[in-house]
Amino acid sequence: MFFSSVPKVNTRRQALEKGRSSREKESPGQSILSKHLKKIYPIGLQRSNSSLSLSSLSLSLSENSNDSSTSITDSGTPLEQKISLALRLIATPERKEFSVAKSVSQQQLQQTQDSSNGEVKRCNWITTNSDKVYVSFHDEQWGVPVYDDSQLFELLALSGMLMDYNWTEILKRKELFREAFSGFDPNIVAKMGEKEITEIASNKAIMLAESRVRCIVENAKCILKVARECGSFSSYMWGYVNYKPMINKYKYPRNVPLRTPKAEAISKDLLKHGFRLVGPVIVYSFMQAAGLTIDHLVDCYRHSDCVSLAERPWRHI
């Protein structure tokens, strides 16, 4: 009886040792995954378009979970494949304008289409006759918080052009403006002389008066001065809203103001710093475009999107 129990004991021991060995093999991979996840969360103070947030990682995982061959939650998938897929998902992407916000927008758009038989609810000023460049601006950029000085400079310049054109006309020539003003790098634009100003003003494709070009150049110089005083133009602008977007809950287009007391206060201070083309109406348009204020109507599918972005920590460096 004693000898007959030995094989059973050995069998249990072998099973325990096999299980322990299996766990020991998994731990290095788990530690690698844990180390890379720490690069993503917490978000910290970083540029809004430099890396994926935890929420966008979760979004990517949920999208891939629909494919049983690539799901990292599939218990039948080997650990090595799980780690490889996860590391590909969290790898630092190439710099893309508003990439995180765009991916969230596309997911929300798909959900809205699914729940309303393909009809997407947008702000009332987006109609079936709206140009696709304007619709894209509404869906991907308008109301998304911007923290980069060059992007803020660009939006301030484009908002100033509303004196002569509407958003659709401006957006159609946005790439031409970017090329003419060196990507709206304030360090480069501030050094533009008479020759560069004349060349831009004489470009018939751009259709920008010389006085407008000079305003943009002068504003670039002012941005550099503000950056020296406040650390960055972004810090200066976001300080006016306590570093958190103002979230409005307007139901009808008539409720959305053209100017606000906050915009008037910012306008006055910008003028004191030497900025031009920064009246209260232009400043408020700039605030809407840069996400300092969220004015999507409450029943627009983008309202909840932008509110989610607004609730993140201030991401400026």
* 303 among annotated binding-site residues: no
300 marked ligand binding residue: yes
Q: Rounded to an integer, what distance in angstroms lies between the CA atom of residue 64 and that of residue 72?
A: 8
| CA–CA separation, 114 and 26 (whole Å) | 40
- Distance between CA 138 and CA 102 in Å, rounded? 11
215 labelled binding-site residue:
no
Cβ neighbours around 184 below 10 Å, total: 24
Backbone angles phi and psi of 147, in degrees to 5: -125, -10
| Structure-token pair, residue 212 | 């407008």
CA distance 18 to 22: 6
| Alpha-carbon distances of 64 from 59, 61, 70, 72, 275, rounded to whole Å | 9, 5, 6, 8, 48
Q: Is 138 annotated as a binding residue?
A: yes
What DSSP letter does each residue of 101-155 carry, written as one string? HHHHHHHHHHHHHHHTTT-----TT--TTS-HHHHHHHHHTTT-----HHHHHHH
Which residues are part of a known binding site? 123, 138, 296, 300
Which residues are part of a known binding site for Zn(2+)? 123, 138, 296, 300
